[in-house]
Amino acid sequence: MTYPAVDGLKVVLDGAALRVTFDRPDRRNAINDAMMQGLIDTFAAAATDEQVRVVVLTGAGDHFCGGADIVARNAPADAPKPRAGAIQRRLPVQAHRLIPLVCEIQVPVVCGVRGVAAGIGFSLALAADFTIASDDARFWEPFATRGFSADSGATWLLPRRVGEVRARQLLLLGRELSGADAAAWGAIHAAVPVADLDAAVTELAARLASGPTVTLGLMKWLLHAGRDASLDQHLRNEAFAMELSSRSEDFREGFAAFREKRDPKFTGR
Q: Are 95 and 151 in contact (CB under 8 A)?
A: yes
Q: Are the CB atoms for 214 and 63 separated by under 8 Å?
A: no
Measured distance CA(102)–CA(237) in Å, rounded: 20
Query: Would you say 151 and 111 are in contact if contact means Cβ atoms under 8 Å apart?
Result: no
**pLDDT 10s digits, 19-69:** 999 999 999 999 999 999 999 999 999 999 999 999 999 999 999 999 987
Burial code (b: 16+ CB inside 10 Å, e: under 16) for 225-238 equals eeeeeeeeeeeebe
CB atoms within 10 A of CB 245: 18
CB 57 within 8 A of CB 128: yes
- DSSP 3-state of 92: helix
**pLDDT confidence of residue 89:** 66
Mean pLDDT of 154-158: 95
What integer is the mean pLDDT of 164-177?
A: 96
Task: Inform me whether the pLDDT recorded for 82 exceeds 70.
Answer: no
Q: Is the Cα torsion angle 23, 27, 31, 37 positive or negative in sign? A: negative
- Sheet with 190-192, edge to edge strand ranges: 9-14, 17-22, 54-59, 109-113, 130-134, 190-192
Q: What is the pLDDT of residue 84?
A: 61
- pLDDT score, position 144: 87
